[in-house]
Structure 1
């Protein structure tokens, strides 16, 4: 039961239930796959780098949606474990970050484990399909991003006034 007794802040019971499901899903973010090599943060960094493009710390922070100090700590831990390396690029002040061979191998290993888990989840999903979930989840995330951008624009306009 939400705070406030019988009166809910939610527009409808469906919104409340959706919020509960989204919260339930976000708690799995730190759920480590049995047999995984990487910590969740190292896997997320390697996911961003999996397109083959090395990134600066700032670019990684933007890609992960996290504070740069947090990503710096995570990158340093992954470097210490041998999964990432920093390297200089001629003519640029910021060093870039890329996976090591060991990091790429660990990412592939853990990616296979995660894919196997998703296969098991989707084989148990009824009714529904992975394609339908992807379609709706992508539409939801796009709408959420547009809403956040609109709120940021509105807040910037208020700050200028």
Structure 2
């Protein structure tokens, strides 16, 4: 059996090294920032809601790419802490979720802490460029989503064929 250090199953060493760097990023607790108030899940939900458009639980689940039961637990925890609220809209079955004033304040506070961290990282990275990284990461994420969507479609088509 080959290991990551043995490049026999990698098309080239650069793919092996990219996989290693992606694993490093995944292990890093980027959502744990000293001095923040919000749990990572509450920050992620507030990030989605930061466009001032309330969402249903289903919409949040889709946008966060998480199971609805997971998002429901996260939303309930954020409601318990006073960061989110559910409200009814006439003519709509599902209640909507929106940030409270406390949620918006905590989101701004934690967002500034995260921005400070990025500023420090890029200052240390010099001459690296946040613009270059953003461009490449966005292109990578877009290609990744296209590729996995095609793979999922092919998998579903094969399942229906059997």
Q: Fold-level match, TM-score > 0.5? A: yes
After TM superposition, give the deviation of residue 7 of structure 1 in Å: 5.4
* Structure-2 separation of matches of 1:109 and 1:6: 45
After TM superposition, give the deviation of residue 160 of structure 1 in Å: 2.1
Matches within 5 A, 1:142-153: 142-153=142-153
SS in 1 for 2:156: helix
Deviations 1:18-69 (A, max 9, x none): 1111111122345411110001110000000000000011110111111111
Unaligned regions of 5+ residues in structure 1, if any? none
* Structure-1 separation of matches of 2:29 and 2:155: 29
Unaligned regions of 5+ residues in structure 2, if any? none
Aligned length: 160
Contact kept? 1:86, 1:98, Cα under 8 Å: yes
Is 1:123 equivalent to 2:141 in the alignment? no
Matches within 5 A, 1:65-84: 65-84=65-84
TM, length-normalised to structure 1:
0.93
SS in 1 for 2:98: strand
**Structure 1 residue runs of 4+, over 6 Å off?**
none
2:9 corresponds to = 9
Contact kept? 2:36, 2:109, Cα under 8 Å: yes
After TM superposition, give the deviation of residue 156 of structure 1 in Å: 2.0
SS in 2 for 1:91: coil
